[in-house]
Amino acid sequence: MVKVKLYIIVSLLAGSLVVNSQSLKQWGEQLNKLEQKTDPNNKRFDLLELSKGLKEIWRDENDINEVLHHTNKLTVSKSADKKMTIAAFGNSTYQGVFQLEWLVQYDNRIWSFSEEFNYNGSKSSSDFTYTLSGSDADLYSFQINDGKQEIVDAIDVVTKCKFEELQQMQGNEQKDSLNTVLLKRLNFLWSDKSKFETSFKQLKRMKTLISDDEKVKICTYNIQKEGFNQLFYGAVILNDGDLKVIPLNDTSPKIKSPERSTLSDKKWYGAIYLDLIQNQSGNKTYYTLLGYKGHGEFVKTRVIDVLIVQNGRLRFGGPIFKSDRITRNRLVFKYSAKATMMVRYDSREKMIVFDNLAPTEPMFRGVYQYYGPDFSYNALKFTKGVWQLRKDVDLRNPKLN
């Protein structure tokens, strides 16, 4: 009986190996045929399907070696410590556009990423330069270049993968546990002075902003918890001779009057900051922040805040937002989760412009799930140390208002 069971197990394993070998061969042949296709939409779809397919059949190093027997259009990079392998392939799609797929195998898991970039050459992805290198801190950088053109610059591939993993998790405890690991890795990056000017653009789940004077760098990201609850994380990195990393502690639920509150890094009205505007008034520097606070089941929230740095300490909020006779420390906008609000900085006019929000019916005044843009626009103009509100701005000719 034992011999029969052993025979069945061996037979199943052998059959599985044959099936996987056939799949690897078919995958390589499909990649070879991709260049023959002319429809760009089909190419885009096929590239994504090939990425999905490789993720399903790639189990170990032998699988990648098998694929390489059937195609020369796959580029494989391995770290010196053999802990990480990256496989990359791609093709031109629309005119002047190249789509690159790259997959990372690390810690017995595989993550896949897709990049589109402008490219006027006739080379294939195998002609690019790939550089994968590790460090003592278990950080792995990965670059893809075509001559002087930078295609991918991942400052730490594992951090990028952890961000993706965080999005896929469901339970709060799992997310919190992984976020502890993620924050530890991020602190290595934030604390490295040589990386201060790095925008971390490959960490697409985290928004990074650097001030014009290159003294302040802000990194923010969010985790969506159960029940539509949002929790925000990040740090302000100060570069004034020495580098100082100041973590941000989101206490939004405890801040009852955010428009009137002056806050700090320990008591932060958390948001993902999408833009940073630097202004000077007297001997004070103001870093105005345009932020998004995510959304609940019925309401979205945007915020315009200000950061002031004094003697290496952070202060969020200040009485610099003026509307008629009312002064606020920050502006908070609430509106329907089904709507979209425009808030942006017009660098030419040096104004923050945004949609005016109004309820769909007068009876819903103050019930923000019924608020949305009313097709008029307001603006903030920085004058004498304050952001002064301008109502009903014509965005075609804002100077006339």
150 Rama class: left (phi>0) / alpha (psi -120 to 50) / beta = beta
- CA 51, CA 98: separation in Å to the nearest integer? 15
Mean pLDDT taken over the chain: 91
Contacts of 265 (CB under 8 A, 6+ apart): 236, 246, 247, 248, 249, 314, 316
User: How many CB atoms neighbour CB 267 within 10 A?
Assistant: 16
Q: Would you say the C-alpha torsion 30, 33, 34, 40 has a positive or negative sign? A: negative
Give 201-235 pLDDT, tens digit per residue. 999 999 999 999 999 999 999 999 888 889 999 99
CA distance 90 to 111: 16
d(C-alpha 155, C-alpha 157), whole Å = 7
pLDDT average, residue stretch 352-364: 95
Q: What is the pLDDT of residues 248-257, one digit of tens each?
A: 999 999 999 9
Q: Kindly tell me the burial class for residue 308, based on how many C-beta atoms sit within 10 Å of its own C-beta (0-12, 13-18, 19 or more).
A: middle
CA–CA dist 265, 309 (Å, integer): 11
Per-residue pLDDT of 2-55, as tens digits, reads 554 443 433 333 444 454 788 999 999 999 999 888 899 999 999 999 999 999
Task: Note the pLDDT of residue 273.
Answer: 98
Q: How far is CA 314 from the centre of its chain?
A: 24
Interacting residues of 209 by C-beta distance below 8 A, sequence separation 6+: 217, 218, 219, 273, 275, 276, 289
Least confident of 21-25, 135-139, 290-294, 349-353: 135-139
The amino acid present at 307, given as its one-letter code, is: L
**For 80-104, what is each residue's pLDDT tens digit?**
999 999 999 999 999 889 999 999 9
